[in-house]
A and B are shown apart, each in its own frame.
Chain A
Amino acid sequence: MIPVHRLCSTLFAVMLLSAVALACGCLGTAEGADAPDWNLTLAGDQETVLTFAEIRALPAVEGYGYSVSTVGIKYGPNRYRGVLLAELVEMAGGVSADDLIYVSAEDGYLWVFDTAQLQGEEFFTFDENLREIPAPPLNVILAYDQDGELLTYEDGGPLRLVVIAETPDVITEGSSWVKWVDRIEVHRR
Protein backbone atom coordinates (compact mmCIF):
# COMPACT_ATOMS: atom_id res chain seq x y z
CA MET A 1 0.00 0.00 0.00
CA ILE A 2 1.31 3.50 -0.92
CA PRO A 3 1.78 5.79 2.14
CA VAL A 4 -0.68 8.72 2.21
CA HIS A 5 2.02 11.45 2.01
CA ARG A 6 3.64 9.73 -1.02
CA LEU A 7 0.24 9.28 -2.64
CA CYS A 8 -0.43 13.02 -2.25
CA SER A 9 2.86 14.09 -3.80
CA THR A 10 2.42 11.59 -6.64
CA LEU A 11 -1.10 12.86 -7.28
CA PHE A 12 0.20 16.43 -7.18
CA ALA A 13 2.87 15.57 -9.74
CA VAL A 14 0.34 13.86 -12.01
CA MET A 15 -1.99 16.87 -11.82
CA LEU A 16 0.87 19.22 -12.63
CA LEU A 17 1.97 17.08 -15.55
CA SER A 18 -1.59 17.12 -16.86
CA ALA A 19 -1.63 20.90 -16.55
CA VAL A 20 1.66 21.09 -18.46
CA ALA A 21 0.33 18.77 -21.14
CA LEU A 22 -2.81 20.91 -21.49
CA ALA A 23 -0.76 24.11 -21.63
CA CYS A 24 1.33 22.57 -24.40
CA GLY A 25 -1.75 21.47 -26.27
CA CYS A 26 -0.85 17.79 -25.92
CA LEU A 27 -4.34 16.75 -24.91
CA GLY A 28 -6.16 18.23 -27.91
CA THR A 29 -9.54 16.89 -28.82
CA ALA A 30 -9.23 13.60 -30.59
CA GLU A 31 -10.22 13.80 -34.22
CA GLY A 32 -13.93 13.43 -34.65
CA ALA A 33 -14.61 13.28 -30.93
CA ASP A 34 -16.82 16.35 -30.99
CA ALA A 35 -18.58 16.79 -34.30
CA PRO A 36 -19.53 20.47 -34.76
CA ASP A 37 -23.19 21.37 -34.65
CA TRP A 38 -23.35 22.51 -38.29
CA ASN A 39 -25.76 21.77 -41.12
CA LEU A 40 -25.35 22.11 -44.87
CA THR A 41 -28.36 22.82 -47.06
CA LEU A 42 -28.25 21.42 -50.59
CA ALA A 43 -30.80 23.16 -52.79
CA GLY A 44 -31.43 21.81 -56.25
CA ASP A 45 -34.52 20.09 -57.55
CA GLN A 46 -35.29 19.48 -53.91
CA GLU A 47 -33.81 20.78 -50.68
CA THR A 48 -31.79 18.46 -48.44
CA VAL A 49 -30.13 19.21 -45.14
CA LEU A 50 -27.01 17.27 -44.20
CA THR A 51 -25.48 17.22 -40.75
CA PHE A 52 -21.74 17.51 -40.27
CA ALA A 53 -21.59 13.82 -39.36
CA GLU A 54 -23.48 12.86 -42.52
CA ILE A 55 -21.03 14.87 -44.62
CA ARG A 56 -18.07 13.17 -42.96
CA ALA A 57 -19.61 9.80 -43.75
CA LEU A 58 -19.57 10.52 -47.50
CA PRO A 59 -16.64 9.30 -49.67
CA ALA A 60 -13.70 11.61 -49.03
CA VAL A 61 -10.80 12.89 -51.12
CA GLU A 62 -7.55 14.49 -49.99
CA GLY A 63 -5.03 16.87 -51.45
CA TYR A 64 -2.97 20.01 -50.92
CA GLY A 65 -4.60 23.40 -50.83
CA TYR A 66 -2.69 26.68 -51.08
CA SER A 67 -4.52 29.97 -51.59
CA VAL A 68 -3.65 33.60 -52.14
CA SER A 69 -5.69 36.68 -51.34
CA THR A 70 -6.52 39.52 -53.75
CA VAL A 71 -3.54 41.48 -52.40
CA GLY A 72 -1.08 38.59 -52.57
CA ILE A 73 -1.11 37.15 -49.04
CA LYS A 74 -0.47 33.40 -49.26
CA TYR A 75 -2.20 30.87 -46.97
CA GLY A 76 -0.80 27.35 -46.83
CA PRO A 77 0.03 24.90 -48.11
CA ASN A 78 -2.10 22.56 -46.01
CA ARG A 79 -3.39 19.06 -46.45
CA TYR A 80 -7.18 18.99 -46.77
CA ARG A 81 -9.77 16.27 -46.66
CA GLY A 82 -13.38 16.62 -47.68
CA VAL A 83 -16.17 15.76 -50.08
CA LEU A 84 -16.09 16.62 -53.79
CA LEU A 85 -18.34 19.59 -54.54
CA ALA A 86 -19.47 17.67 -57.63
CA GLU A 87 -20.71 14.84 -55.41
CA LEU A 88 -22.74 17.22 -53.23
CA VAL A 89 -24.21 18.88 -56.32
CA GLU A 90 -25.13 15.42 -57.61
CA MET A 91 -26.98 14.82 -54.34
CA ALA A 92 -28.89 18.06 -54.99
CA GLY A 93 -30.15 16.66 -58.29
CA GLY A 94 -27.13 17.21 -60.56
CA VAL A 95 -26.38 19.97 -63.07
CA SER A 96 -26.61 20.64 -66.79
CA ALA A 97 -23.70 22.26 -68.63
CA ASP A 98 -24.99 25.85 -68.32
CA ASP A 99 -26.16 25.68 -64.71
CA LEU A 100 -24.42 27.64 -61.99
CA ILE A 101 -23.65 26.64 -58.43
CA TYR A 102 -24.03 29.23 -55.68
CA VAL A 103 -21.99 28.49 -52.58
CA SER A 104 -22.84 30.72 -49.63
CA ALA A 105 -21.80 31.09 -46.05
CA GLU A 106 -23.00 32.02 -42.62
CA ASP A 107 -21.30 35.44 -42.82
CA GLY A 108 -23.22 36.47 -45.95
CA TYR A 109 -20.46 35.68 -48.47
CA LEU A 110 -21.50 34.18 -51.79
CA TRP A 111 -19.43 32.86 -54.69
CA VAL A 112 -20.65 31.40 -57.98
CA PHE A 113 -19.08 28.40 -59.72
CA ASP A 114 -19.80 27.06 -63.19
CA THR A 115 -19.86 23.41 -64.15
CA ALA A 116 -16.31 23.49 -65.57
CA GLN A 117 -15.02 24.61 -62.16
CA LEU A 118 -17.03 21.85 -60.56
CA GLN A 119 -14.66 19.51 -62.42
CA GLY A 120 -11.60 21.44 -61.25
CA GLU A 121 -11.16 23.30 -64.54
CA GLU A 122 -10.72 27.00 -65.39
CA PHE A 123 -8.91 27.97 -62.20
CA PHE A 124 -5.83 30.16 -62.46
CA THR A 125 -2.80 28.66 -60.73
CA PHE A 126 0.40 30.28 -59.51
CA ASP A 127 3.82 29.27 -58.24
CA GLU A 128 5.44 30.48 -55.00
CA ASN A 129 6.42 33.74 -56.72
CA LEU A 130 2.81 34.24 -57.80
CA ARG A 131 3.67 33.74 -61.45
CA GLU A 132 0.99 31.95 -63.42
CA ILE A 133 1.65 28.31 -64.18
CA PRO A 134 -0.34 25.83 -66.28
CA ALA A 135 -3.05 24.33 -64.09
CA PRO A 136 -2.43 20.74 -63.02
CA PRO A 137 -5.43 18.47 -62.25
CA LEU A 138 -7.46 20.13 -59.48
CA ASN A 139 -10.41 19.11 -57.36
CA VAL A 140 -12.93 21.32 -55.62
CA ILE A 141 -13.95 19.96 -52.25
CA LEU A 142 -15.97 20.92 -49.25
CA ALA A 143 -13.23 20.41 -46.69
CA TYR A 144 -13.68 19.54 -43.02
CA ASP A 145 -10.14 18.49 -42.10
CA GLN A 146 -6.97 20.52 -42.32
CA ASP A 147 -3.69 18.73 -41.64
CA GLY A 148 -5.50 15.87 -39.95
CA GLU A 149 -7.53 18.05 -37.57
CA LEU A 150 -11.05 19.35 -37.84
CA LEU A 151 -11.06 22.73 -39.60
CA THR A 152 -11.23 25.43 -36.95
CA TYR A 153 -13.70 28.28 -37.15
CA GLU A 154 -10.77 30.67 -37.59
CA ASP A 155 -9.69 28.73 -40.68
CA GLY A 156 -13.19 28.78 -42.17
CA GLY A 157 -14.51 25.59 -40.58
CA PRO A 158 -16.42 23.49 -39.95
CA LEU A 159 -16.94 23.46 -43.75
CA ARG A 160 -14.87 25.37 -46.29
CA LEU A 161 -14.63 25.29 -50.07
CA VAL A 162 -11.05 24.38 -50.98
CA VAL A 163 -9.30 23.84 -54.32
CA ILE A 164 -6.84 20.96 -53.96
CA ALA A 165 -3.95 19.65 -56.05
CA GLU A 166 -1.78 16.56 -55.78
CA THR A 167 1.30 18.59 -54.82
CA PRO A 168 1.78 21.36 -52.24
CA ASP A 169 3.24 23.90 -54.68
CA VAL A 170 0.10 24.96 -56.54
CA ILE A 171 -1.51 28.24 -55.47
CA THR A 172 -5.07 29.17 -56.40
CA GLU A 173 -7.03 32.41 -56.05
CA GLY A 174 -8.68 32.59 -52.63
CA SER A 175 -11.94 34.19 -53.78
CA SER A 176 -13.49 30.77 -54.34
CA TRP A 177 -12.35 29.38 -50.98
CA VAL A 178 -15.65 30.16 -49.27
CA LYS A 179 -15.39 29.91 -45.48
CA TRP A 180 -18.17 28.71 -43.18
CA VAL A 181 -20.22 27.16 -46.01
CA ASP A 182 -23.81 26.44 -45.03
CA ARG A 183 -25.63 26.36 -48.38
CA ILE A 184 -25.00 25.01 -51.89
CA GLU A 185 -27.58 25.93 -54.47
CA VAL A 186 -27.98 24.86 -58.10
CA HIS A 187 -29.30 27.61 -60.37
CA ARG A 188 -30.83 26.31 -63.59
CA ARG A 189 -30.21 28.37 -66.72
Chain B
Amino acid sequence: MIRPAVTLALIALAVLAAAAGCTDTEPERTVLTVIPAGSLLHPLEEIEAAFENQHPDIDVRIEGHGSIQAIRQVTDLGRGIDVVAVADASLIPDMMYIPMSEGSENYTDWYVPFARNEIVIAYTDRSTGAEEITVENWYRVLARPDVQVGFSNPMLDACGYRALMVTALAEEYYGEPDLFEAIIGNSFDPPLTPTRAGGVATITLPERMRPADAKVAIRDGSIYLLSLLDAGGIDYAFEYRSVAEEHGLRWIDLPPGINLGSAEHADDYQKVHVTLGFQRFRSIGSERTGQPVVYAVTIPCNAPYPDEARIFVEFMLAAFHEKRAGWPTPIE
Protein backbone atom coordinates (compact mmCIF):
# COMPACT_ATOMS: atom_id res chain seq x y z
CA MET B 1 0.00 0.00 0.00
CA ILE B 2 1.29 3.43 -0.93
CA ARG B 3 1.64 5.79 1.99
CA PRO B 4 -0.24 9.12 1.77
CA ALA B 5 3.02 11.09 1.96
CA VAL B 6 4.42 9.25 -1.06
CA THR B 7 1.17 9.81 -3.00
CA LEU B 8 1.40 13.49 -2.11
CA ALA B 9 5.00 13.55 -3.26
CA LEU B 10 4.15 11.96 -6.61
CA ILE B 11 1.33 14.49 -7.20
CA ALA B 12 3.68 17.29 -6.26
CA LEU B 13 6.33 15.99 -8.69
CA ALA B 14 3.77 15.84 -11.50
CA VAL B 15 2.63 19.40 -10.82
CA LEU B 16 6.24 20.60 -10.61
CA ALA B 17 7.10 18.91 -13.90
CA ALA B 18 4.11 20.56 -15.58
CA ALA B 19 4.93 23.96 -14.05
CA ALA B 20 8.51 23.67 -15.26
CA GLY B 21 7.35 22.82 -18.77
CA CYS B 22 8.93 19.36 -18.75
CA THR B 23 5.93 17.74 -20.42
CA ASP B 24 5.80 20.28 -23.23
CA THR B 25 6.57 18.53 -26.49
CA GLU B 26 6.09 21.60 -28.75
CA PRO B 27 9.38 22.57 -30.44
CA GLU B 28 10.58 25.94 -29.13
CA ARG B 29 10.53 28.80 -31.65
CA THR B 30 13.24 31.42 -31.73
CA VAL B 31 11.70 34.72 -30.59
CA LEU B 32 13.02 37.56 -32.72
CA THR B 33 12.33 41.02 -31.26
CA VAL B 34 11.91 43.70 -33.91
CA ILE B 35 11.37 47.35 -32.96
CA PRO B 36 10.11 49.60 -35.76
CA ALA B 37 9.15 53.27 -35.79
CA GLY B 38 5.40 53.92 -35.70
CA SER B 39 5.08 54.70 -39.42
CA LEU B 40 6.68 51.31 -40.21
CA LEU B 41 4.29 49.33 -38.01
CA HIS B 42 1.77 48.46 -40.71
CA PRO B 43 4.38 47.26 -43.28
CA LEU B 44 6.28 45.36 -40.58
CA GLU B 45 3.17 43.53 -39.43
CA GLU B 46 2.57 42.36 -43.00
CA ILE B 47 6.23 41.36 -43.33
CA GLU B 48 6.04 39.49 -40.01
CA ALA B 49 3.17 37.30 -41.25
CA ALA B 50 4.88 36.52 -44.57
CA PHE B 51 8.22 35.83 -42.87
CA GLU B 52 6.74 33.46 -40.29
CA ASN B 53 5.04 31.52 -43.09
CA GLN B 54 8.45 30.88 -44.61
CA HIS B 55 10.23 30.44 -41.27
CA PRO B 56 7.84 28.64 -38.89
CA ASP B 57 10.69 28.10 -36.43
CA ILE B 58 10.98 31.88 -35.85
CA ASP B 59 8.43 33.88 -33.88
CA VAL B 60 8.78 37.56 -34.84
CA ARG B 61 7.59 39.94 -32.14
CA ILE B 62 6.95 43.47 -33.41
CA GLU B 63 7.02 46.26 -30.82
CA GLY B 64 6.44 49.75 -32.22
CA HIS B 65 7.93 52.89 -30.69
CA GLY B 66 8.85 56.40 -31.77
CA SER B 67 12.26 56.29 -33.49
CA ILE B 68 14.27 57.71 -30.59
CA GLN B 69 12.48 55.52 -28.08
CA ALA B 70 13.07 52.51 -30.37
CA ILE B 71 16.84 53.02 -30.17
CA ARG B 72 16.72 53.68 -26.44
CA GLN B 73 15.34 50.17 -25.91
CA VAL B 74 18.84 48.99 -26.95
CA THR B 75 21.00 51.74 -25.48
CA ASP B 76 19.52 53.34 -22.36
CA LEU B 77 17.26 50.41 -21.41
CA GLY B 78 19.76 47.65 -22.25
CA ARG B 79 17.22 45.26 -23.75
CA GLY B 80 18.17 42.41 -26.06
CA ILE B 81 16.70 43.60 -29.36
CA ASP B 82 17.34 41.85 -32.67
CA VAL B 83 16.32 44.46 -35.24
CA VAL B 84 15.78 48.23 -35.01
CA ALA B 85 14.14 50.16 -37.88
CA VAL B 86 13.75 53.94 -37.55
CA ALA B 87 12.20 56.84 -39.48
CA ASP B 88 15.32 59.01 -39.24
CA ALA B 89 18.53 57.33 -40.44
CA SER B 90 20.74 59.92 -38.74
CA LEU B 91 19.62 58.70 -35.31
CA ILE B 92 21.51 55.41 -35.69
CA PRO B 93 25.03 56.90 -35.95
CA ASP B 94 24.10 59.62 -33.43
CA MET B 95 22.81 57.26 -30.77
CA MET B 96 24.31 53.82 -31.54
CA TYR B 97 27.84 54.42 -32.83
CA ILE B 98 28.98 54.51 -29.22
CA PRO B 99 30.52 51.78 -27.04
CA MET B 100 28.07 49.56 -25.17
CA SER B 101 30.33 50.00 -22.16
CA GLU B 102 33.81 51.41 -21.64
CA GLY B 103 36.27 49.68 -23.98
CA SER B 104 33.65 47.46 -25.60
CA GLU B 105 32.31 47.45 -29.16
CA ASN B 106 29.66 49.91 -30.37
CA TYR B 107 25.93 49.18 -30.22
CA THR B 108 26.24 49.01 -33.99
CA ASP B 109 28.57 50.26 -36.73
CA TRP B 110 26.28 50.11 -39.74
CA TYR B 111 22.82 50.77 -41.03
CA VAL B 112 20.97 50.26 -44.29
CA PRO B 113 18.86 53.17 -45.57
CA PHE B 114 15.94 51.43 -47.27
CA ALA B 115 12.98 53.75 -47.79
CA ARG B 116 11.97 57.36 -47.87
CA ASN B 117 8.84 59.31 -47.09
CA GLU B 118 7.57 62.87 -47.30
CA ILE B 119 5.24 65.12 -45.36
CA VAL B 120 1.77 65.73 -46.79
CA ILE B 121 -1.32 67.58 -45.60
CA ALA B 122 -3.93 64.91 -44.84
CA TYR B 123 -7.64 65.68 -44.68
CA THR B 124 -11.12 64.27 -45.22
CA ASP B 125 -14.14 65.25 -47.29
CA ARG B 126 -15.60 66.89 -44.19
CA SER B 127 -12.59 69.13 -43.50
CA THR B 128 -13.29 72.85 -43.61
CA GLY B 129 -11.99 74.06 -46.99
CA ALA B 130 -11.82 70.52 -48.44
CA GLU B 131 -13.52 71.64 -51.65
CA GLU B 132 -11.12 74.47 -52.34
CA ILE B 133 -7.72 73.29 -51.07
CA THR B 134 -5.09 72.63 -53.77
CA VAL B 135 -1.34 72.19 -53.99
CA GLU B 136 -1.16 75.90 -54.84
CA ASN B 137 -3.26 77.37 -52.02
CA TRP B 138 -2.90 74.85 -49.15
CA TYR B 139 -0.93 77.20 -46.94
CA ARG B 140 -3.56 79.93 -47.24
CA VAL B 141 -6.31 77.47 -46.30
CA LEU B 142 -4.35 76.23 -43.28
CA ALA B 143 -3.69 79.82 -42.17
CA ARG B 144 -7.40 80.63 -41.94
CA PRO B 145 -8.55 81.19 -38.34
CA ASP B 146 -11.52 78.80 -38.77
CA VAL B 147 -9.34 75.91 -39.93
CA GLN B 148 -7.98 73.53 -37.29
CA VAL B 149 -4.59 71.92 -37.82
CA GLY B 150 -2.99 68.98 -36.03
CA PHE B 151 0.48 67.50 -35.71
CA SER B 152 2.18 65.07 -33.38
CA ASN B 153 4.23 66.20 -30.40
CA PRO B 154 7.67 67.29 -31.64
CA MET B 155 9.13 66.23 -28.29
CA LEU B 156 8.05 62.65 -28.99
CA ASP B 157 7.65 62.10 -32.68
CA ALA B 158 9.86 62.86 -35.69
CA CYS B 159 6.75 63.63 -37.74
CA GLY B 160 5.95 66.36 -35.21
CA TYR B 161 9.17 68.33 -35.55
CA ARG B 162 9.07 67.72 -39.29
CA ALA B 163 5.63 69.42 -39.41
CA LEU B 164 7.21 72.53 -37.89
CA MET B 165 10.11 72.36 -40.36
CA VAL B 166 7.78 72.09 -43.36
CA THR B 167 5.78 75.12 -42.20
CA ALA B 168 8.93 77.21 -41.65
CA LEU B 169 10.28 76.15 -45.05
CA ALA B 170 6.93 77.08 -46.65
CA GLU B 171 7.24 80.61 -45.29
CA GLU B 172 10.46 81.09 -47.29
CA TYR B 173 9.35 79.04 -50.29
CA TYR B 174 6.16 81.03 -50.86
CA GLY B 175 7.63 84.35 -49.72
CA GLU B 176 4.88 84.73 -47.12
CA PRO B 177 6.26 86.34 -43.96
CA ASP B 178 4.41 85.35 -40.79
CA LEU B 179 2.99 82.20 -42.43
CA PHE B 180 4.43 80.04 -39.63
CA GLU B 181 2.73 82.19 -37.01
CA ALA B 182 -0.59 82.17 -38.90
CA ILE B 183 -0.70 78.37 -39.21
CA ILE B 184 0.93 77.37 -35.90
CA GLY B 185 2.82 80.01 -33.96
CA ASN B 186 0.00 82.35 -32.94
CA SER B 187 -1.79 79.50 -31.18
CA PHE B 188 0.85 79.56 -28.46
CA ASP B 189 1.21 82.00 -25.61
CA PRO B 190 3.73 83.53 -26.05
CA PRO B 191 3.59 83.06 -29.85
CA LEU B 192 6.00 80.60 -31.41
CA THR B 193 8.14 82.44 -33.95
CA PRO B 194 11.08 81.19 -36.01
CA THR B 195 14.22 83.25 -35.55
CA ARG B 196 16.26 83.72 -38.72
CA ALA B 197 20.04 84.13 -38.73
CA GLY B 198 22.63 83.31 -41.40
CA GLY B 199 19.96 81.89 -43.69
CA VAL B 200 18.78 79.41 -41.04
CA ALA B 201 15.35 79.49 -39.38
CA THR B 202 15.34 78.16 -35.83
CA ILE B 203 12.16 77.24 -34.00
CA THR B 204 12.66 77.07 -30.25
CA LEU B 205 9.91 75.14 -28.54
CA PRO B 206 8.51 75.80 -25.08
CA GLU B 207 8.94 73.12 -22.42
CA ARG B 208 5.25 72.28 -22.63
CA MET B 209 3.78 72.11 -26.14
CA ARG B 210 0.35 73.31 -25.10
CA PRO B 211 -1.57 75.40 -27.64
CA ALA B 212 -3.52 78.29 -26.15
CA ASP B 213 -6.46 77.95 -28.55
CA ALA B 214 -8.33 75.31 -30.53
CA LYS B 215 -6.79 76.14 -33.92
CA VAL B 216 -3.87 73.84 -33.25
CA ALA B 217 -4.10 70.32 -31.80
CA ILE B 218 -1.06 68.35 -30.66
CA ARG B 219 -1.18 64.68 -29.73
CA ASP B 220 1.46 62.13 -28.74
CA GLY B 221 1.39 60.20 -32.02
CA SER B 222 -0.04 60.29 -35.51
CA ILE B 223 -2.70 57.65 -34.83
CA TYR B 224 -4.46 60.10 -32.51
CA LEU B 225 -4.46 62.74 -35.23
CA LEU B 226 -6.07 60.26 -37.60
CA SER B 227 -8.73 59.61 -34.99
CA LEU B 228 -9.26 63.37 -34.55
CA LEU B 229 -9.49 63.86 -38.33
CA ASP B 230 -12.05 61.11 -38.51
CA ALA B 231 -14.11 62.64 -35.69
CA GLY B 232 -13.91 66.16 -37.15
CA GLY B 233 -11.81 67.42 -34.24
CA ILE B 234 -9.28 68.83 -36.71
CA ASP B 235 -9.48 69.65 -40.42
CA TYR B 236 -5.91 68.96 -41.53
CA ALA B 237 -2.98 66.96 -40.18
CA PHE B 238 0.68 66.91 -41.08
CA GLU B 239 1.35 63.25 -41.82
CA TYR B 240 3.72 61.01 -43.72
CA ARG B 241 2.45 60.29 -47.22
CA SER B 242 2.43 56.52 -46.57
CA VAL B 243 0.28 56.96 -43.45
CA ALA B 244 -2.29 59.10 -45.30
CA GLU B 245 -2.40 56.53 -48.10
CA GLU B 246 -2.63 53.57 -45.71
CA HIS B 247 -5.63 55.12 -43.93
CA GLY B 248 -7.50 56.09 -47.08
CA LEU B 249 -7.31 59.82 -46.41
CA ARG B 250 -7.20 62.60 -48.96
CA TRP B 251 -3.96 64.53 -49.02
CA ILE B 252 -2.12 67.42 -50.63
CA ASP B 253 1.36 66.68 -52.00
CA LEU B 254 3.74 69.48 -51.09
CA PRO B 255 6.51 70.82 -53.36
CA PRO B 256 9.79 68.81 -53.12
CA GLY B 257 11.54 71.97 -51.92
CA ILE B 258 9.66 71.78 -48.61
CA ASN B 259 8.23 68.25 -48.21
CA LEU B 260 11.43 66.70 -46.75
CA GLY B 261 11.11 63.92 -49.31
CA SER B 262 13.76 64.82 -51.86
CA ALA B 263 17.49 64.06 -51.55
CA GLU B 264 18.15 66.79 -54.14
CA HIS B 265 16.79 69.40 -51.72
CA ALA B 266 18.77 68.22 -48.70
CA ASP B 267 20.69 71.51 -48.59
CA ASP B 268 17.44 73.49 -48.52
CA TYR B 269 16.06 71.38 -45.68
CA GLN B 270 19.13 72.07 -43.56
CA LYS B 271 18.09 75.71 -43.40
CA VAL B 272 15.57 74.91 -40.69
CA HIS B 273 16.31 73.79 -37.15
CA VAL B 274 14.01 72.84 -34.29
CA THR B 275 15.29 73.17 -30.74
CA LEU B 276 13.23 71.14 -28.30
CA GLY B 277 12.18 72.88 -25.11
CA PHE B 278 14.17 70.54 -22.93
CA GLN B 279 16.54 67.65 -23.32
CA ARG B 280 14.07 64.82 -23.04
CA PHE B 281 16.74 62.13 -22.99
CA ARG B 282 20.29 62.27 -21.74
CA SER B 283 21.33 60.14 -24.70
CA ILE B 284 20.41 62.60 -27.46
CA GLY B 285 20.68 66.36 -27.81
CA SER B 286 17.68 68.67 -28.19
CA GLU B 287 18.52 70.11 -31.63
CA ARG B 288 16.97 68.69 -34.84
CA THR B 289 18.08 69.78 -38.31
CA GLY B 290 15.95 69.48 -41.43
CA GLN B 291 16.87 66.46 -43.55
CA PRO B 292 15.17 64.19 -46.08
CA VAL B 293 12.98 61.55 -44.39
CA VAL B 294 15.02 58.35 -44.74
CA TYR B 295 14.24 55.06 -42.99
CA ALA B 296 17.09 52.84 -41.86
CA VAL B 297 17.52 49.44 -40.25
CA THR B 298 20.29 47.89 -38.16
CA ILE B 299 21.03 44.85 -36.01
CA PRO B 300 22.51 45.74 -32.62
CA CYS B 301 25.83 44.06 -31.79
CA ASN B 302 24.24 42.46 -28.74
CA ALA B 303 21.21 41.10 -30.61
CA PRO B 304 20.19 37.77 -29.02
CA TYR B 305 19.72 36.10 -32.45
CA PRO B 306 21.95 37.89 -34.99
CA ASP B 307 21.77 35.13 -37.63
CA GLU B 308 17.98 35.06 -37.64
CA ALA B 309 17.97 38.87 -37.52
CA ARG B 310 20.05 39.00 -40.71
CA ILE B 311 17.63 36.64 -42.45
CA PHE B 312 14.72 38.83 -41.35
CA VAL B 313 16.38 42.08 -42.47
CA GLU B 314 17.12 40.62 -45.93
CA PHE B 315 13.49 39.50 -46.18
CA MET B 316 12.29 42.93 -45.06
CA LEU B 317 14.47 44.82 -47.54
CA ALA B 318 13.26 42.58 -50.38
CA ALA B 319 9.63 43.24 -49.36
CA PHE B 320 10.16 47.01 -49.39
CA HIS B 321 11.63 46.83 -52.88
CA GLU B 322 8.24 45.64 -54.13
CA LYS B 323 6.90 49.24 -53.79
CA ARG B 324 3.63 48.43 -52.05
CA ALA B 325 0.81 50.97 -51.65
CA GLY B 326 0.68 52.54 -48.19
CA TRP B 327 4.34 51.75 -47.47
CA PRO B 328 7.23 54.21 -47.47
CA THR B 329 8.85 54.40 -50.92
CA PRO B 330 11.90 52.13 -51.37
CA ILE B 331 15.30 53.65 -52.01
CA GLU B 332 16.63 52.26 -55.26
Residues of A within 8 A of B (CB): 6, 9-10, 12-13, 16-17, 19-20, 23-24, 69-73, 100, 102, 107-114, 122, 124, 126, 130-132, 173-175, 187
Contact = CB atoms under 8 A, between A and B. Distances in A.
Contact of B223 (A72, A110, A112): A72
Interface stretch (B63-71, B105-113, B177-185, B293-301): B63-71
A17 B8 contact: yes
B3 A9 contact: yes
B58 interface: no
A122 B212 CA distance: 11
B16 A130 contact: no
Given A71-B41, A174-B220, A107 B227 contact: no
B12 A70 contact: no
5 contacts: A13-B9, A17-B8, A71-B221, A72-B64, A109-B281
Residue of B16, B220, B228 ringed by the most chain A CB atoms within 10 A: B220
Interface in B23-65: 38, 41, 63-65
Contacts of B3: 6, 9
Contact of A131 (B65, B77, B207, B227): B227
A138 to B, nearest CB: 16
Interface stretch (B168-176, B272-280, B323-331): B272-280
Given A10-B5, A13-B5, A114-B210, A70 B16 contact: no
Given A69-B65, A110-B281, 19 more contacts: A6-B5, A9-B5, A13-B9, A13-B12, A16-B13, A16-B16, A19-B12, A19-B16, A20-B16, A108-B281, A108-B283, A110-B279, A130-B224, A132-B227, A132-B228, A173-B219, A173-B224, A175-B153, A175-B155
A6 B3 CA distance: 9
A130 B277 CA distance: 28
